[in-house]
Every structure is written in C-alpha cells, then in structure tokens.
Amino acid sequence: MKSDLDTDVIKVTLDGTELYEYKFGDTRPVEGGYDIRKQAQNFQKSEINWATYHYQAKEGFKGTETVEIVLFGSPGDGNFTDYQKWVFEIRVK
C-alpha cells in the first residue's frame, strides 16, 4: 500500500444524530472500490453504498470521530493499488 497517496481532509460538524452523506466521484476501477480503512467508533451508521459515504453518530455521542476511506483497484489484472485517500474529521455537537 502506498503511503504517499493524494489525501483529502474533510472537516464536518454535525448536530447530534444528523445524517451526513459524502458522494465520491462516479468512476471506479474495473476491480476494486472504496474501503473504510479506519472506522468510526461511536456510530449508528458508518458505511459506503454506491460510492456514497454515510455517517450517523450514536445517540448521545458528542465528540470527534476520524474515518479514513481509500479508493483502491486494479486495471483488471488483480494487482491492486491504493489510488486516493479521504480523511473525515467529524465533530458531533
């Protein structure tokens, strides 16, 4: 896995259990997709569906979560590479 990935840091502030969604680009590799490499700790929902990340805090949680998502793939030959990384810094008030 490459450590010099292009990384986007996305800072998010939410009120309580408000649902947050982040849509990634519409393209994806032939083989691969999006993978949560570092999962939130205090969530009702923290998942990727159809290139959209969904986060919802656990009831009563106030604080900060960090989630890391990586786009990985291969051109069809089974040799997987990480292409890009997103770090979500989520603050729940």
User: In the chain, how many domains are there?
Assistant: 1
pLDDT for position 27: 67
Is 40 part of any domain? yes
Report the alpha-carbon distance of residue 56 to residue 47 in Å, rounded.
10
The answer to the question of residue 1 being in a domain is: no
Give the CATH number for residue 32.
2.60.40.10
Task: Note the pTM of the prediction, 2 decimals.
Answer: 0.89
- What does pLDDT average to over the chain? 91
Residue 67 lies in a domain: yes
**C-alpha to C-alpha distances, 62 to 46, 84, 86, nearest whole angstrom:** 16, 29, 22
**Structure confidence by residue, pLDDT tens digits, 33-59:** 999 999 999 999 999 998 999 999 999
Domain of 67, in residue numbers: 6-92
